[in-house]
A and B are shown apart, each in its own frame.
Chain A
């Protein structure tokens, strides 16, 4: 008899084979992290079923099985290897295996050179991700599968990690996108993540086999893979058990089952995980804590008996909808706190209907809406005001602590915090990319362990040894938790550890504080997550200060909105919010269209209400709404794009050179265009970036954590190849031009050497010429000589003299191009000043001009009425100055110089664009922030990736405008 156990991150799979390798037993169950117990029970079951089998060939496999195997002496088989063994035996002739598990994703290439790939430290695109997304949509994974079958269109959703996807999905939901489309988009994101993350340049073709839970249970997911791979894969019988079967096949030692059971039962975890002091040393300490916090309560009055003016505040948040009715003196009359199951509109409708039923004669003077769904709710119900979340929270916090210095709000999926300086919001920290989702993570984890969130967090209050999980993105925390469990941490310890981790994330990843003094003494904490006593305690412990938690901690956004409405309302005003009659007739229809007014091709959701009123969501600029003319004349990014496209494709007697339009080519294109046309080459540039262009090159990306601008290069080169261009010029460049702003003039390693990656990973370049030699344009005198030698390797008959002349023209053109941009920038600044417009210096790298990279942020800013210029306009005015960092990259030196310049201009603000995965920006962002804050300016950073939703960006920008009083 052979037994294979596959202990995965969420389930245990077991198979028993008889001596002829026939299945005689199999089981598949969730272990809810009780691995030892589940394992012991399973073996006991097998023993009672086959009582006369003393011994069996037994092996353990699976990511959560290592520990138990190590300490019980039962042989361990790596799970991918086990899957391979099984496929080789049961399905000979298979070329590729795709296996998705709870937290793992794997691709096995079996033929033409064995290769096995599995996901690294990122759990995006796995079963856990799908479960998370399903719960976000408030459906079961099975329902998600069914939903996806009714899809009409696919949205772009980032699946790198669940957090990204949430930021993509939530706005879609809030804008009213159809659930089936979102369901299908989730699967498509998983497919795209698997292909991009794991195929790494290797084509997936031939006989394909799908294994693992998600692929077994979801036919929609299989169809998505089939579609993307242009093939039809097979999901074999027993597809859940392949790893277990493989382990059974690999088992090479007979094991005494009684002994194995005993050693599992005696398996004592090490208990040497690192831990922190307990949250509360005693029950008494906890009670004192509760008493202190219970003092901070808002006044309440009875709605039914209330007589007077009322104000409505609504916070349509990402995972919950909150609404309050407030009396004239600020007392709370009525409140609701509901999970946002995707579409906030019906929730608010119910809230209002019930309100009118309870109090038909209510006198609502004004109403305000805040949160992700602000615009939709505001237009659906004709609320009077919209207010950015940060301002709403600040307004509410002030009512509890008038001289509040710091407000921190940890909500379902985001952390918002800000400092208050001179009575205005000064410094906003929103969680970027990978650390968001903190509150909902606690919830997901509680659910996974079969606890309600409340129960789960209570467990940790008196835990003796809270696990030290560090400060890290919550997705990664999952595996830290696994490790702690392996080391013997109890559920209590883990619960407390997770509360600590959420706090540490907020403090050290988002705020990046190094001492409690940095936050000030007067701190208000709020947001649903702080209702959790364990989190609150962990926060006070970590910063060493007692803080204020209002009893309406979860309602602060809505309460702030109500306060704001009261503040805004004119005497005698009556709110325009739909009354009981209008509400009864209320209807809401959603249509999805693609805007064709510019290259961003926004997916618009058009919401139509009963009286024909419309609300359009998903737009980046005002054009589809107002039909106004473009505001490109105050957008230097748009000017740069237009200027670059004025270099038209040409033909030449020496043949055509293709140039991929990405990374540093965004600035050097005029140089190389002139250089090659002067040498009588034709020049073709790759098309403007788009999602489709990216997907077309996606399969060949070897490193999934490189920045999006670099990843796009694969698509650009592929586009040139598809156009039939035989010679592509994309040189390596360690050095950029020396603009005398820094200590050196390097390119970043990715910009410098990405051509090497293209050359080594794009099979479609076979038979084509990729000129990726190392060139040094920074040495003007040497350049023609060196370049002549390079060109001579590829072309005959080009003389050094020709190259010299072409180079001279190229340098001149480059200078002229930059001069033109700078002059145009100056004109825009002058015009803005004439029109009294705010000037936003949107700073990044030259390639951030690419609309697929900046996702239309430039247009979003102009839609607020501001003028957008770029950092290079200002840096030209500056001289080299000492920095607190090694100032050695040309593009980055411009950032510091621009920050210096902005610091001296009252009507300019700097907004820095940062690509996710840009290691260099870990350094530049700190320095730019430092320069600006030293000079009393607000620093605003926007992280960009494949994600194309601008919700968080809008909050930042609106808060910025609110803070500077525009």
Chain B
């Protein structure tokens, strides 16, 4: 066990010694992305381990240690971490936890504090917790989010977005069942190996690799019979994590739908852009603006590569450019709405409708404050702008049952299927 060192405020630090010998557990969100992302850290000498546990015990553990009125993602994330620590699988003297912290005005910024409280309640306060954030909160001697890490992390997100998109647009139509998943696994393994070696994240490498990936997916034999196209938006955790949304993607697949989840890169761009918007709206440092703007441009250049590579295969619908998505909400909701998913959530709904994914599941934890505004609060306006939008808002929490959620989604799908068959009729004429 490494020596435990605390900072002035009494926070347990993650030391350099720990970096050498500790396993870093982090909770699941988007499986493809997080598998790749974890390996970015491995190259830099950390020992990350993504938790892939599922099952009702996770929520139960969370409910036991976290205030039950807190948002559902906090209950699940903390539940998953503590459940892992209590599983006996890890040497508690050689394990630390890693969790992201956005630092926005939403209560999600408090997850790390809730996690520490929960650890204390569970008698696990000797386990160090690392905050992964871009705001300079909570520094640790043994952990630093350096520029090379950030650069590679953005690369990993680009790969994740690409694989997720290609998978979602191929799998529903594949002729040989299982082929798409196998391809995703193949490329995930490939990328994991590359990133472990510190390779694969230069712009040139990204472009080359993405081309190969796209080409591979193009070669999957498909039969593109028209299916109901469903977009999924929402609070980032319940949007991506099957643990949070009761396996929403699988359910939609079982209902014979094609799913589109807007990528994580646009969320990252949104979070960076917020810093620019803040300065534009309220004033602020010009230097900060320039620095942030540079990061923004870098991310956008990767976005261009991603979109261009996917465009090369006309059968795939590429993501929209961030700036285009952003332009869709002009006059709908202000760019100052930045807490949680903020205006981006509204924008993604409009973007999906524009791309032909007019049937939308808007997911949020029960009582999610930002989504009262940018999710449920904007549905009426979106329908005013484009009445093709067929949106259902679904709340997720430990008490909501799958039956009710699926029944509501089925209602949305019934309307969607009717429209789909009308469309087919028009095609026939």
- Taking Cβ atoms with an 8 Å cutoff, the residues of A that contact B are 63, 66-67, 76-81, 113-116, 118, 120-121, 200-202, 274, 468, 470-473, 476-477, 479-480, 482-483, 486, 508-509, 512, 514-515, 702-703, 705-706, 710, 732, 734-735, 744, 746-750, 752-754, 756-757, 760-761, 772-776, 778-779, 781-783, 785-786, 882, 884-886, 888-889, 917, 919-923, 925-926
Task: State whether A274 and B56 are in contact (beta carbons under 8 Å apart), knowing that A479-B403, A760-B378 are contacts in the complex.
Answer: yes
Cβ contacts A to B, 14 pairs, < 8 Å: A77-B414, A81-B414, A200-B376, A470-B56, A471-B63, A473-B399, A479-B403, A753-B370, A756-B334, A773-B334, A776-B283, A782-B283, A786-B283, A885-B114
Cβ-defined contact, B114 with A748, below 8 A:
no
Count of CB-CB pairs between chains A and B under 8 Å: 223
Cβ-defined contact, B105 with A747, below 8 A:
yes
Cβ-defined contact, A476 with B401, below 8 A:
yes
Task: State whether A754 and B373 are in contact (beta carbons under 8 Å apart), knowing that A78-B407, A512-B67, A514-B64 are contacts in the complex.
Answer: yes
Cβ-defined contact, A917 with B367, below 8 A:
yes
The verdict on B383 contacting chain A, using a C-beta distance below 8 Å, is yes
Cβ-defined contact, A78 with B414, below 8 A:
yes
Cβ-defined contact, B377 with A116, below 8 A:
no
| Known contacts A761-B381, A920-B107, then 5 further A-B pairs from the complex at CB < 8 Å, ordered by chain A residue | A121-B400, A732-B334, A749-B339, A749-B370, A750-B369
B136 to chain A, nearest CB (A): 12
Cβ-defined contact, B380 with A760, below 8 A:
yes
List chain B residues, Cβ under 8 A from A508: 63-64, 68
List chain B residues, Cβ under 8 A from A919: 69-71, 107, 367-369
B428 to chain A, nearest CB (A): 18
The verdict on B65 contacting chain A, using a C-beta distance below 8 Å, is yes
- Interchain residue pairs A-B with the least CB separation, the first 5: A782-B283, A776-B282, A774-B336, A472-B399, A746-B105
List chain B residues, Cβ under 8 A from A748: 105, 369
- Chain B interface residue bracket vs A: 35 or more
A791–B401 Cα distance when bound, in Å, is 48
Partner of A776, one of B64, B103, B281, B394: B281
The verdict on B406 contacting chain A, using a C-beta distance below 8 Å, is yes
Cβ-defined contact, B339 with A761, below 8 A:
no
List chain B residues, Cβ under 8 A from A703: 371-372, 376-377
The verdict on B426 contacting chain A, using a C-beta distance below 8 Å, is no
Cβ-defined contact, B283 with A785, below 8 A:
yes
Residue of A at shortest CB range from B105?
Answer: A746
List chain B residues, Cβ under 8 A from A486: 403
Partner of A750, one of B59, B282, B366, B373: B373
The verdict on B155 contacting chain A, using a C-beta distance below 8 Å, is no
Cβ-defined contact, B333 with A752, below 8 A:
no
Cβ-defined contact, B110 with A923, below 8 A:
yes
Partner of A884, one of B70, B113, B398: B113
Residue of B at shortest CB range from A754?
Answer: B373
A756 to chain B, nearest CB (A): 5
List chain A residues, Cβ under 8 A from B397: 121
A436 to chain B, nearest CB (A): 14
The verdict on B404 contacting chain A, using a C-beta distance below 8 Å, is yes
Cβ-defined contact, B407 with A63, below 8 A:
yes
B115-123, B210-218, B294-302: which lies at the A interface?
Answer: B115-123
Cβ-defined contact, B411 with A116, below 8 A:
yes
Partner of A78, one of B283, B378, B410: B410
A779–B282 Cα distance when bound, in Å, is 7
A370–B63 Cα distance when bound, in Å, is 34
Task: State whether A732 and B336 are in contact (beta carbons under 8 Å apart), knowing that A702-B380, A760-B380 are contacts in the complex.
Answer: yes
Task: State whether A468 and B336 are in contact (beta carbons under 8 Å apart), knowing that A508-B68, A776-B282 are contacts in the complex.
Answer: no
Question: In chain B between 113 and 148, which residues have their CB closer than 8 angstroms to a CB of chain A?
Answer: 113-114, 116-117, 121-122
Task: State whether A118 and B339 are in contact (beta carbons under 8 Å apart), knowing that A509-B68, A514-B64 are contacts in the complex.
Answer: no
A939–B175 Cα distance when bound, in Å, is 63
Best-buried of A66, A201, A783, A923 by chain B (most CB within 10 Å): A923
Cβ-defined contact, B407 with A66, below 8 A:
yes
A63–B401 Cα distance when bound, in Å, is 12
List chain B residues, Cβ under 8 A from A113: 383, 387
The verdict on B25 contacting chain A, using a C-beta distance below 8 Å, is no
Question: In chain B between 343 and 393, which residues have their CB closer than 8 angstroms to a CB of chain A?
Answer: 366-374, 376-381, 383, 387, 393
Cβ-defined contact, B399 with A480, below 8 A:
yes
Task: State whether A749 and B373 are in contact (beta carbons under 8 Å apart), knowing that A120-B395, A201-B380, A760-B381 are contacts in the complex.
Answer: yes
B104 to chain A, nearest CB (A): 8
Cβ-defined contact, A922 with B283, below 8 A:
no
Query: 1/0 per position for B24-65, CB-CB distance to A under 8 A?
Result: 000000000000000000000000000000001001100111
Query: 1/0 per position for B328-346, CB-CB distance to A under 8 A?
Result: 0000111111111000000
Cβ-defined contact, A81 with B415, below 8 A:
yes
The verdict on B327 contacting chain A, using a C-beta distance below 8 Å, is no
Residue of A at shortest CB range from B367?
Answer: A919
Task: State whether A922 and B414 are in contact (beta carbons under 8 Å apart), knowing that A202-B380, A735-B282, A753-B337 are contacts in the complex.
Answer: no
A112–B278 Cα distance when bound, in Å, is 39
List chain A residues, Cβ under 8 A from B225: none
The verdict on B2 contacting chain A, using a C-beta distance below 8 Å, is no
A242 to chain B, nearest CB (A): 15
Question: In chain B between 200 and 249, which residues have their CB closer than 8 angstroms to a CB of chain A?
Answer: none
The verdict on B109 contacting chain A, using a C-beta distance below 8 Å, is yes
The verdict on B408 contacting chain A, using a C-beta distance below 8 Å, is yes
Query: 1/0 per position for B64-102, CB-CB distance to A under 8 A?
Result: 110111110000000000000000000000000000000
List chain B residues, Cβ under 8 A from A746: 105, 339
B44 to chain A, nearest CB (A): 27
The verdict on B1 contacting chain A, using a C-beta distance below 8 Å, is no
Residue of B at shortest CB range from A777?
Answer: B282
B378 to chain A, nearest CB (A): 6
A509–B397 Cα distance when bound, in Å, is 14
Cβ-defined contact, A774 with B281, below 8 A:
yes
Cβ-defined contact, A734 with B122, below 8 A:
no
List chain B residues, Cβ under 8 A from A63: 403-404, 407
Residue of A at shortest CB range from B418?
Answer: A81
A63 to chain B, nearest CB (A): 5
Best-buried of A78, A480, A772 by chain B (most CB within 10 Å): A78
Best-buried of B399, B402, B406 by chain A (most CB within 10 Å): B399
Partner of A886, one of B113, B368, B406: B113
List chain B residues, Cβ under 8 A from A779: 282-284
Partner of B282, one of A80, A114, A786: A786
B418 to chain A, nearest CB (A): 8
The verdict on B9 contacting chain A, using a C-beta distance below 8 Å, is yes
Cβ-defined contact, B69 with A66, below 8 A:
no
List chain A residues, Cβ under 8 A from B378: 756, 760
Cβ-defined contact, A885 with B407, below 8 A:
no
A783–B284 Cα distance when bound, in Å, is 11
The verdict on B253 contacting chain A, using a C-beta distance below 8 Å, is no
Task: State whether A888 and B337 are in contact (beta carbons under 8 Å apart), knowing that A482-B403, A750-B373 are contacts in the complex.
Answer: no
Residue of B at shortest CB range from A781?
Answer: B283
Cβ-defined contact, B404 with A923, below 8 A:
no
Cβ-defined contact, B399 with A923, below 8 A:
no
List chain A residues, Cβ under 8 A from B122: 514
A265–B103 Cα distance when bound, in Å, is 56
Cβ-defined contact, A116 with B401, below 8 A:
no
A115–B408 Cα distance when bound, in Å, is 13
Partner of B105, one of A734, A772, A786, A922: A734
A753–B411 Cα distance when bound, in Å, is 30
The verdict on B5 contacting chain A, using a C-beta distance below 8 Å, is no
Residue of A at shortest CB range from B11?
Answer: A882
A121 to chain B, nearest CB (A): 4
Cβ-defined contact, A889 with B334, below 8 A:
no
List chain B residues, Cβ under 8 A from A882: 9-10
